[in-house]
Structure 1
Amino acid sequence: MESSEESRAEKPPYVGALLRLCSERARERVHQAIREAGCDDLHETHLRLFTYPVPDGVRPSEIARRLGMTRQATNHVITQMEALGYLERRDGPDGRRLVYLTARTWTVAEAIWKAMRDLQSEWRAEIGERDFETFIAVLRRLAAAAAPAPAAAAPAASPRS
């Protein structure tokens, strides 16, 4: 006979749905933080550029790869965000055109990071320190197993420091 823990794990909602439900809670916090930061001109497609690690000083083709978008679609999004004052394209150290974040983008990124730290604190209080630390450790292990090559890694602290 299965233990009650095993039987609960094998019944809906399954892992994909549970992760989606948690992600939706986080996504709503992101939208709220962006509105509170006064940046209500960003659309869902634009928000994909704020995924970790933020793409500061990278080629447009690298952004396309990270987002799983075509180069043409990515260029369209970059052009929109340039017009809104969130991104700028300029020559990098090697003379190639790179995409850089503006002060406005860093304001949004910092608002998002604060919202995520606040959500983590709430979840820690909701489920307890021990369960939360286990939860984060398991997520980090699963994320590391699925992560792209280390070149995409960024420092844990604010990249502007």
Structure 2
Amino acid sequence: MTQLPPRARPQSLGVLLRLAHQHFASAVDEALGQAGFGDIRPHHANVFSFVPPEGIPVSELTLKAGVRKQTMAQAVEELERLGYVERRAHPNDKRSRLVFLTERGTKIRPLAMATGEGVERSWAQRLGEGELEALRAGLQALLGKVHGGEGAC
């Protein structure tokens, strides 16, 4: 079997996905910092991305984000200290608490989404709209299959 020289070997898909995510996340981090939200860290996206207006238990956030319960609990605690989320008693289960975005917290998602859309437009200009949509479709199909037929995010 012939080995390709180091430069000719295709990069690992994991590395490529991580680098693309870093580019995307850096743009969002920069926009958040410029808007006065410099205390938000990338792992906080696991919270902001999945909290609905009616609130959500940490256990459900954990499942939606695909992270460990300890990781999610830590992110929620950090965001609560920073004033982005609050926990309130569950109306149907007094033993449980729901996570809600505060007024400050509700400002994050629209800014992050607008910035993300800008990154995607930039990528579409560089790569081509069709190529970017093919990438999106392929990733959605892969994630759907990996997650047992569930729809991807």
| TM-score bin, normalised by smaller chain | 0.7 to 0.9
What residue in structure 2 maps to residue 75 of structure 1?
73
Cα deviation digits, residues 68-104 of structure 1 (max 9, x gap): 2244x54343222112111111123313311111222
- Is structure 2 residue 55 aligned with structure 1 residue 55? no
| Structure 1 residue 67, shift from structure 2 partner | 4.6
Are the structure 2 counterparts of residues 131 and 79 from structure 1 closer, same or farther at C-alpha, using a change threshold of 3 Å?
closer
Q: 1:10-159 maps to which residues of 2 (within 5 A)?
A: 11-50=9-48, 52=49, 54-56=50-52, 57-65=55-63, 66-71=65-70, 73-95=71-93, 96-147=96-147, 150=150
Q: Which runs of 5+ in 2 are unaligned?
A: 1-7
- In structure 2, C-alpha distance between the alignment counterparts of 1:100 and 1:106, rounded to whole Å: 9
Q: Which residue identity does 1:69 align to in structure 2?
A: R
Aligned partners of 1:25 and 1:40: how far apart in 2?
Answer: 17
Change (3 A) 1:134 1:74: closer
Q: 1:17 to 1:68 in 2, by over 3 A?
A: same
Deviations 1:35-55 (A, max 9, x none): 1221112234434323x4x22
Q: CA deviation at 1:11?
A: 2.5
SS at match of 1:28: helix
Q: Whole-Å Cα distance in 2 between the matches of residues 153 and 33 of structure 1? A: 26
SS of the equivalent of 2:104 reads: helix
- TM-score, with normalisation over the residues of structure 2? 0.76
Distance 2:107 2:57 in 1: 22
Q: How many residues align?
A: 141
Shift of 1:148: 6.8
Larger relative CO (CA 8 A, sep 6+): 1 or 2?
Answer: 1
- TM-score, normalised to structure 1's length? 0.73
Q: What SS does the aligned partner of 1:103 have?
A: coil
- Contact 1:64 1:70 (8 Å CA) reproduced: yes
1:34–1:112 contact (8 Å) kept in structure 2: yes
Residue 153 of structure 1: how far off its partner (Å):
7.6
Cα distance in structure 1, aligned partners of 2:74 and 2:21: 26
Cα distance between partner residues in 2 of 1:19 and 1:31 = 18
Query: What percentage of residue pairs aligned between the two structures are identical?
Result: 27
Give the Å deviation of 1:138.
1.3
**Residues 44 and 118 of structure 1: is their aligned pair in 2 closer, same or farther, counting only changes over 3 Å?**
closer
